Amino acid sequence: MTNPLDLSSRVSLFPDNTVLCNFGAVSRLDLLRKVLGGCGRWTEAVAEEARRSATYVRDLGQLPVEGWLGEPIELCTEAEIAFADRLRRAVFGGIPSEPLRHLGEAETLALIQTRKEFAGAVWITDDRDAGEYAAARGIPVKNTVTLMREAAVSGLIHYAEGHRLLLGMIADGRHIRGIPDRAERLLD
């Protein structure tokens, strides 16, 4: 029998800053933490994006203190850094004058594609184009609605409350696609 506390055999889950902001906007980072089940990870760039976003989404400021995404993962080799920069520019449209723009997405994809310990890791993003790019390369992709479905189906939250939270994210100006028209559809 496997030990559920042994994270070495569990798949890493990498939410991007947009997903962190979505849950933070409705003050439910605690729910995101539960859905990630101890497998949440982030890169240095995503951690920095969250730090900057905490100016607007106050709850994000607690992430480094609580530590449930672990220490931010640093790209260590010149090859990783160069690959992330190529992704940032070629895939995400990053430009030299804005070196931080799309860096979180690029670092995350570079880690998942190059490090053996992150093989099979799941990227969680609400950026449709970025998600399609990752999926085309065999990287499993989820989004905010997927996570809310998982929370409702697993009993972490009642489906009606999950639907209310998704609508609250929209009301807060968050851009989320695929919200079911009826709350019970979260259970589909």
Tell me the per-residue pLDDT of 83-112, one tens digit each, with 9 for 90 and over: 999 999 888 888 888 878 888 999 999 999
The mean pLDDT of 112-118, rounded to a whole number, is 94
Q: Is the pTM of this model over 0.95?
A: no
> Above 50 in pLDDT, residue 4?
no
> Above 50 in pLDDT, residue 120?
yes
Say what percent of the chain tops pLDDT 70.
95
**Spatial separation of the C-alpha atoms in residues 119 and 130, rounded to whole Å:** 18
The answer for residues whose C-beta is within 8 angstroms of residue 119's C-beta and 6 or more apart is 112
Judge contact between 14 and 122, C-beta under 8 A: yes
- Range 92-128 burial, b when 16+ CB lie within 10 A, else e: bebeeeeeebbbbbbbbbbbbbebeebeebbbbbbbe
Q: What is the mean pLDDT of the chain?
A: 92
* pLDDT of the residue at 10: 81
* pLDDT of the residue at 2: 42
Tell me the per-residue pLDDT of 125-184, one tens digit each, with 9 for 90 and over: 998 888 999 999 999 999 999 999 999 999 999 999 999 999 999 999 999 999 999 999
The mean pLDDT of 32-57, rounded to a whole number, is 96
* pLDDT of the residue at 9: 57
